[in-house]
Amino acid sequence: METDNTTSSESQTSGVEVAVKYINTLSLVLYCLIFIMGTLGNGLVIYVTGFRMKRTVNSVWFLNLALADFLFTVFLVFTIVSHSRGNQWDFGPFMCKLNNFVSLVNMFASVFLLTAISLDRCLSIWVVVWAHNRRTVFKAQLTCVIIWVAAMICSTPNASFRSIWQNNGSTMCVYPSTMTYEQKWIIYTFRCVVGFVIPFLVILTSYVAIAVRANRLQRNRKPKSRRIIYAVILAFFICWLPFHVISFIELKSSNEELWNVVRIGAPLAGCLAFLNSCLNPILYVFMCDEFLKKLKQSICLVLESALAEDHLSFMSSRSLSSHFSRISRKSDSTAPTERKGTDASLTFTECKLDTLSTE
């Protein structure tokens, strides 16, 4: 009887090890895809909102959001290298703390910016006159500075505890064994409440208010923006909830079964959390007609100049620059004019609601 129990336990352990192996391989592939997609997608958003679009409140929001997500995915390369070597950390104790700090700063900054964008949209629809008169680029930039500072403050405790741990010849970047249960519980609870619960409630409330307002003004129509509203809420919830749940399970993983759950679930939860940085450009920016128009104009300008390279090589540098200026003015003349400083309408994912906010 004891032999049967031992055999069953060994087979279960071997099955878990096989599952962990496959999960780690899958998560490594997903990390690489997220790194490529997130870097390219957010890089395009930074280029268009930072250099091709006029500076408005919305462009400030999305430039900072793209910057946070871009840095978030760029630093994923350290996780990819470590994960490919069985979580072996070869970058030293300083990079261990820095990588954790930068990742958390951009996580908090991204979440806080999503919350600010939701509140801004809600106010733009419900308090149209106030938004038209009080929403300024300077206030948006100041809010972004406050958000980045708050993100750094929230990330400091996590990074301060992170250190190098050596075991059986392997070096890992983890929380030290000297860290008490109470310290971990405080850090995880703070990260969950400030980085997920409060932002999610604000985002949910804001978009519910937006949907109510949209239903009142467009009772017989179902704009595309309403579907995007649902997608934004679900994406935020699905991407971040498993990450925080696994963190709390890890606190209780004193027995083998819970620890196996952490070993299998942690890589997948991490993939979902990083995936949110790839979804943000799609949900918030790429579905906007204005952004796509500016992006197409930029691509057309590059192609036109490249195809005309042989012809332009005989021109002087002055005529070359004037040629590009005419192309740029021609592309800009096709875009609708915008009022500087303020933007009462929703110009990104709620492009269909622009007419609502101005009525």
Binned at pLDDT 50, 70 and 90, residue 292 comes out as low
Token code pair at residue 93: 């104790």
321 neighbors 82 (Cβ within 8 angstroms) = no
54 neighbors 338 (Cβ within 8 angstroms) = yes
Cα atoms in the 13 Å half-sphere on the side-chain side of 37: 16
Question: Which candidate, 359, 344, 120, places its Cα nearest to that of 217?
Answer: 359
pLDDT (mean) for 127-144: 88
Residue 285 has pLDDT above 80, yes or no: no
Residue 106 has pLDDT above 70, yes or no: yes
What local confidence, expressed as pLDDT, does residue 90 receive? Answer: 86
Largest Cα separation within the chain, whole Å, is 92
Integer CA distances (angstroms), 276 to 42, 88, 232, 282, in order: 12, 26, 10, 10
251 neighbors 188 (Cβ within 8 angstroms) = yes
What local confidence, expressed as pLDDT, does residue 197 receive? Answer: 93
Binned at pLDDT 50, 70 and 90, residue 127 comes out as confident
Residue 184 has pLDDT above 60, yes or no: yes
Residue 1 has pLDDT above 80, yes or no: no
Neighbour tally for 16: CB within 10 Å: 17
pLDDT (mean) for 100-104: 89
Binned at pLDDT 50, 70 and 90, residue 173 comes out as confident
Residue 8 has pLDDT above 60, yes or no: no
Say whether pTM exceeds 0.85: no
Q: Mean pLDDT of all residues in the chain?
A: 77
What local confidence, expressed as pLDDT, does residue 70 receive? Answer: 92
Which residues are CB-contacts of 278 (< 8 A; sequence separation ≥ 6)? 34, 37, 38, 41, 69, 73
Q: Which of 2-11, 52-61, 279-288, 303-312 has the highest mean pLDDT?
A: 52-61
Say which range, 53-62, 153-162, 220-229, has the weakest mean pLDDT: 220-229
CB environment 236-262: b (16+ within 10 A), e (fewer): beebbbbbbebbebbeebeeeeeebbb
343 neighbors 56 (Cβ within 8 angstroms) = yes
113 neighbors 68 (Cβ within 8 angstroms) = yes
Domains (range + CATH), the chain:
11-358 (1.20.1070.10)
For tokens 């400083």, the residue is 341
Token code pair at residue 25: 């391989």
What is the rounded distance in angstroms from the CA atom of residue 232 to the CA atom of residue 139? Answer: 25
